[in-house]
Amino acid sequence: MAKLHPIIHAAGIEERPPDWAVMSPARISHARRVGRLMRDWADALGHDRQTRIRWRATGLLHDAFKEEAVEALRPLVDAAEEWPDPLLHGPACANRLRASGVNDEPLLRAIAFHTTGHRDLDALGQALYMADFLEPGRIASGQERASLRRRMPHDWPAVLVDVATVKIGILIDCLLPVSRATAGFWEAITGPVVANRKAVD
C-alpha cells in the first residue's frame, strides 16, 4: 500500500483534523469515537497497522465539514450532483481532501457517502456507514445500538442490513425521500441475502 497522505496520517495517528476542518469539540469527540470503533473493527479483522490507521482516519475525518455553512459547502460539490443541504458535508469534505492531494478513492467515497450509503462502498465505506450510526456516544436507542456493536465485526453483513433498515426507516417515517445512492446501496447489500434465501428455499 502506498504511503499515507499527511492528512490521513495525522488523523489516524494523532486524531488531529486538518486545519480547514469546521468542528466543535463535541463534533470532534463524536468523530474520534467513530474512528476508534473503526480501528477496533480493523484490528479484530486482522488488518495491518497501516490499514488500521487509515480506517481510524476515515472515521475522524468524515464530519470535518459537518458544521460548515451550506454557502461555503455548495461550491465544493459538483452542481450536477443532487445533494440536499444536510448531506453536503460528506461530498464537500471528500472533494476538499482530494484538492489537498488525497487520492485514496475508496476513502474519499466512504466519506462522501457515509450518510446515504452507495453500492460501490468497499469494507472501509461500509464500516464508516455503520460506525457513524453505532458509535457509543449516540444515546438514542442505546441498547439496540450496543447490541449491534457487540455483533461486529463477526456478523458484518447482517449488521449492515440492520443498520440500513433503521436508517432508511427513519427517512420513511419522516416522509423524506430515499436517494438513488441509498436505494442502490440497499439493493447491493440485500441482494446476497435474498439470493441465499432463495437457495435455501
Cell readout for 69 is 455553512
- Residues of the chain below pLDDT 70: 1, 192-201
SS3 annotation, 98-162: HHCCCCCHHHHHHHHCCCCCCCCCCHHHHHHHHHHHHCCCCCCCHHHHHHHHHCCCCCHHHHHHH
**Count of CA atoms in the C-beta half-sphere (13 A) of 101:** 8
Interval 125-180: pLDDT, tens: 999 999 999 999 988 878 999 999 999 999 999 999 999 999 999 999 998 889 99
**CA 55 to CA 8: how far, in whole Å?**
9
Q: What is the pLDDT of residue 139?
A: 83
DSSP 178: P
Q: What is the pLDDT of residue 140?
A: 81
DSSP 169: H
Cell readout for 128 is 464508516
Cell readout for 99 is 484538492
Domains of the chain are 6-132+145-200 (1.10.3210.10)
**CA 17 to CA 149: how far, in whole Å?**
25
CA dihedral 97, 103, 108, 109 (to 10 degrees): 150
